[in-house]
């Protein structure tokens, strides 16, 4: 099933679309570990699971399709195959799209991507923008295509107006839905929604949430994505940085408070960056189902 249909069905049912993200293991032969993770995630029945994609021909690239197909074939859950264009030429892209189509994966998250650290290869002139990749995917076959959005603006384009221009270009190129980069202040996401709807961007926009599990993780995200930290989260990290278990508990609770607030605001969906940790996904979906039950009881 195409994910855009899932969004439509959930909207009619007045429910958010709940999804998870995993990434292929970096070590050769480690794909079995992710299959075990998926076995633990399967009974949670999220609306879809996305699988990230490396650039530059790493082993993770090849495993993305295997894992995405496994999710659909073995767990009867829709998968979202991430695909980056920054290092691909036309021939490479056509070959990749054909392989995805042959495995029956119907959904692709189209990303420009970043040049791999240490790579001496030249980036692609064809896919310098995600909108070009979206057009290419649609011209190849009948895929459902998602795209990224940035509540605080892309790290290379911080201006809100420019951020909306690129979002509009992606939708006009054929983006069926958007998944946001992680953020730690919900107001940033609500501003993005307001700006998008004011710009007549109509596709569903899902909020990306990543629980904090370590200080190094936070520092890496700030460097890579340019996300800002609210004072409340800074205090949490400072208080528990010497106790990893307590930091993880506090980080999860902060993320769950974000999710609670997002769902109460009626967002299109929530996408949890699980970092391949089943307990993160299980806790998040259990929280959601409990909130849904409470809401149903109140409405009754």
Hey, which residues are catalytic here? 21
Q: Which of 197, 170, 180, 204 has the alpha carbon at shortest distance from 8? A: 204
What is the residue-wise DSSP string for 44-81? T--SEEEE---SSS-HHHHHHHHHHHHHHHHH--EEEE
Backbone angles phi, psi at 286, to 5 degrees: -65, -40
Counting Cα atoms < 13 Å in the Cβ hemisphere of 161 gives 0
User: Which residue, 85, 163, 171, is CA-closest to 128?
Assistant: 85
**Long-range contacts (CB closer than 8 Å, 24 or more residues apart) made by 225-232:** 225/155, 225/181, 225/182, 226/152, 226/153, 226/155, 226/158, 227/152, 227/181, 227/182, 227/183, 227/184, 228/152, 228/184, 228/185, 228/188, 229/184, 230/184, 230/185
Single out the residue of 9, 108, 113 nearest to residue 51, CA to CA. Answer: 108
The C-alpha atoms of residue 62 and residue 111 are separated, in whole angstroms, by 17
d(CA 88, CA 73): 28
Q: What span, in angstroms and rounded, lies between the C-alpha atoms of 65 and 69?
A: 6
């Amino acid at each position: 099933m195409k994910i855009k249909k899932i969004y439509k069905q959930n909207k009619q049912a007045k429910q958010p679309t709940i999804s998870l993200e995993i990434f292929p293991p970096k070590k050769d032969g480690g794909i079995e570990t992710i299959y075990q993770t998926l076995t633990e995630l399967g009974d949670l029945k999220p609306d879809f699971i996305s699988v990230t994609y490396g650039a530059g021909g790493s082993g993770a690239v090849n495993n993305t399709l295997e894992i995405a197909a496994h999710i659909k074939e073995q767990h009867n859950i829709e998968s979202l195959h991430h695909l980056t264009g920054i290092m691909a030429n036309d021939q490479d892209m056509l070959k990749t799209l054909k392989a995805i189509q042959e495995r029956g994966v119907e959904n692709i998250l189209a990303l420009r991507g970043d040049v791999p650290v240490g790579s001496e290869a030249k980036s692609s002139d064809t896919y310098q923008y995600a909108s070009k990749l979206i057009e290419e995917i649609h011209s190849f076959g009948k895929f459902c295509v998602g795209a990224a959005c940035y509540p605080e603006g892309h790290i290379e384009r911080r201006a809100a107006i420019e951020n909306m221009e690129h979002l509009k270009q992606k939708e006009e190129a054929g983006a069926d839905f958007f998944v946001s980069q992680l953020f730690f202040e919900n107001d940033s996401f609500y501003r993005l929604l307001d700006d998008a709807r004011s710009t007549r961007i109509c596709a569903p926009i899902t909020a990306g949430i990543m629980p904090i599990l370590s200080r190094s993780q936070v520092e890496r995200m700030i460097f890579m994505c340019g996300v800002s930290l609210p004072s409340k989260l800074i205090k949490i990290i400072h208080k528990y940085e010497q106790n990893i278990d307590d930091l993880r508990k506090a980080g999860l609770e902060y993320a769950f408070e974000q999710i609670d607030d997002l769902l109460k605001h009626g967002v299109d969906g929530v996408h949890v960056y699980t970092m391949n940790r089943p307990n993160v996904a299980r806790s998040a979906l259990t929280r959601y189902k409990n909130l849904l039950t409470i809401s149903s009881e109140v409405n009754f």
